[in-house]
């Protein structure tokens, strides 16, 4: 309250004015709690659902760089960048093709429940294989299925010893027949057959493409390529045999 020069009427009027202002401020701060208060108006809701959700569309809305105006197109350098004809994007398509080979092959290996070693062998061959040698059948899923069939059958042949031709020749006919009866090709499994049929491959196509695959493996030395593994061991690392010897001595 501000008192003037002793005038009681002026002091009382100043006091009442300040009290009324504080009461008005308190009333303004109180929120209304009546039904429907604070809800979005029907007109605003209609605009949000019909008009406001649509943004303006320009030629440069989804591309890198900006044109001079919304009606103009991008410059030639930016256009070359988007079409992968720019020097900064050299090799991009080949890198994406390489990643697609690994991704599709890995998915097929998981679908067929291959072991980690068989999967790494398939990825090692697919990562370095030139698919153009397969002609019209060079689609990644088709070639990947051929490689999977080759790797799995090769591992099963190694397990039975069918890869050793000299040893096979020295076996009696009964023993040889028994070994070949034990061998089960991946093409005999229903899951692989369904995948092959899905991608348009029959037994004849699989056998023909496998011959092409063997030629490519022999030509490029990819028969025992393994993804993520290197046959040339670092000489600075301890060998596995030394670990086994030390563990055996510790056990004794």
CA distance linking residue 126 with residue 104, whole number of Å: 10
Domain boundaries, the chain: 92-220
Looking at residue 109, its pLDDT comes to 92
Looking at residue 135, its pLDDT comes to 86
Looking at residue 46, its pLDDT comes to 65
Looking at residue 177, its pLDDT comes to 82
Looking at residue 22, its pLDDT comes to 64
Compute mean pLDDT per 10 residues along the chain, 252 residues long, and list them. Answer: 48 52 60 68 64 52 66 76 66 80 92 89 90 88 93 86 77 80 84 90 90 90 79 66 62 58
Supply angle C-alpha 207, 178, 187, rounded to 5.
25
Q: Decide: 77 and 86 in contact? Cβ < 8 Å.
A: yes
Q: Tokens 């050299």 identify what position?
A: 90
Report in angstroms the alpha-carbon separations of 48 from 39, 40, 76.
14, 10, 38
Dihedral, CA of residue 202, residue 207, residue 212 and residue 214, to nearest 10: 140
pTM: 0.58
Q: Decide: 144 and 108 in contact? Cβ < 8 Å.
A: yes
DSSP type of residue 62: S
């Amino acid at each position: 309250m501000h008192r003037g020069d002793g005038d009681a009427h002026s002091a009382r009027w100043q006091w009442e004015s300040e009290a009324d202002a504080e009461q008005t401020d308190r009333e303004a701060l109180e929120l209304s709690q009546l039904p429907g208060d604070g809800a979005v108006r029907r007109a605003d809701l209609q605009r949000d659902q019909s008009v406001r959700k649509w943004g303006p569309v320009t030629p440069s809305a989804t591309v890198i760089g900006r044109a001079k105006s919304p009606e103009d197109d991008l410059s030639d350098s930016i256009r070359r960048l988007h079409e992968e004809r720019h020097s900064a994007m050299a090799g991009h398509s080949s890198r994406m093709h390489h990643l697609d080979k690994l991704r599709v092959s890995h998915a097929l290996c998981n679908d067929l429940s291959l072991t980690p070693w068989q999967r790494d062998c398939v990825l090692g061959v697919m990562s370095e294989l030139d698919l153009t040698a397969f002609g019209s059948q060079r689609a990644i899923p088709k070639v990947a299925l051929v490689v999977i069939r080759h790797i799995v059958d090769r591992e099963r042949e190694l397990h039975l010893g069918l890869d050793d031709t000299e040893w096979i020749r020295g076996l009696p006919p009964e023993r040889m027949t028994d070994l070949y009866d034990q061998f089960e090709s991946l093409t005999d499994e229903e899951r692989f057959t369904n995948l092959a049929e899905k991608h348009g491959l029959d037994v004849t196509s699989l056998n023909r493409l496998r011959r092409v695959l063997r030629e490519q493996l022999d030509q490029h030395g990819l028969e025992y390529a393994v993804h993520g593994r290197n046959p040339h061991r670092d000489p600075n690392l301890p060998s596995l045999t030394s670990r086994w010897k030390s563990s055996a001595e510790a056990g004794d």
